Amino acid sequence: MKIKEINKIKNVNKKYDIQVAENHNFFANNILVHNCNMYNDHFHARSLDSNNHPSRNYVKGIWGSIKSDIPQDWRICGENLYARHSLGYDNLESYFMCFSIWNADNMCLDIDQTLEWCKLLGIVHVPILYRGVFDLDFIKNFKVDTSVQEGFVIRLAREFHYDDFSKSVVKWVRKGHVAPNSGHWQSKEIIPNKLKI
């Protein structure tokens, strides 16, 4: 999937709103991402002009508890998993799962630094399904149960600059994941996903 547009956020240096395709979705590991972004001074859903929605309140609470620990001009990107979208989850570690952390130079932290910052902030990283040398045969034969998993993302383990995003991250999503006539989840009753007991 190609990035549809990149908009520089007004009055803030080196921060960008990432939107992909017509539905603004991005898939990180096996999580459907709507680009939930946390900064030390503000929080927004997939884009700066996202309307408020009751399903975001839980994640806003998480942001409120960590915002003073987020370094200036850094952003934490992750998925708000509170409300069911196309698949329901019944064993989540958290309603917010981080998939990348970007520093003030617009560098995506390497995976070890990202995991360390997640631990320091007390937030959960998306599941890592495989870590190792890139192996095309392994990727082609990777088994995905599409009834419970929407897709997965492959990213470089090393750090990379935002300008190299399209060369550093690739995703796979199940066929027919977004049903064109099913209506947007925000216009439906909120059905919370379930946390691990």
Q: Kindly state the tokens that stand for 168.
A: 């550093």
pLDDT of residue 40: 83
Q: Hey, where are the domains in the chain? A: 3-187
Q: Kindly state the tokens that stand for 24.
A: 């603004």
Q: Kindly state the tokens that stand for 175.
A: 């066929």
Measure the CA–CA gap between 60 and 67, rounded to whole angstroms: 10
CATH, domain range 3-187: 3.30.470
pLDDT of residue 9: 46
pLDDT of residue 86: 73
pLDDT of residue 7: 52
CB proximity list for 38: less than 8 A, separation 6 or greater = 63, 66, 67, 70, 75, 76, 77, 78
Q: List per-block mean pLDDT (blocks of 10 residues) for the chain, which spans 197 residues.
A: 48 42 42 61 58 72 91 91 81 91 96 97 92 87 81 90 92 71 61 88
Q: Give residue 164's identity as a one-letter amino acid code.
A: D
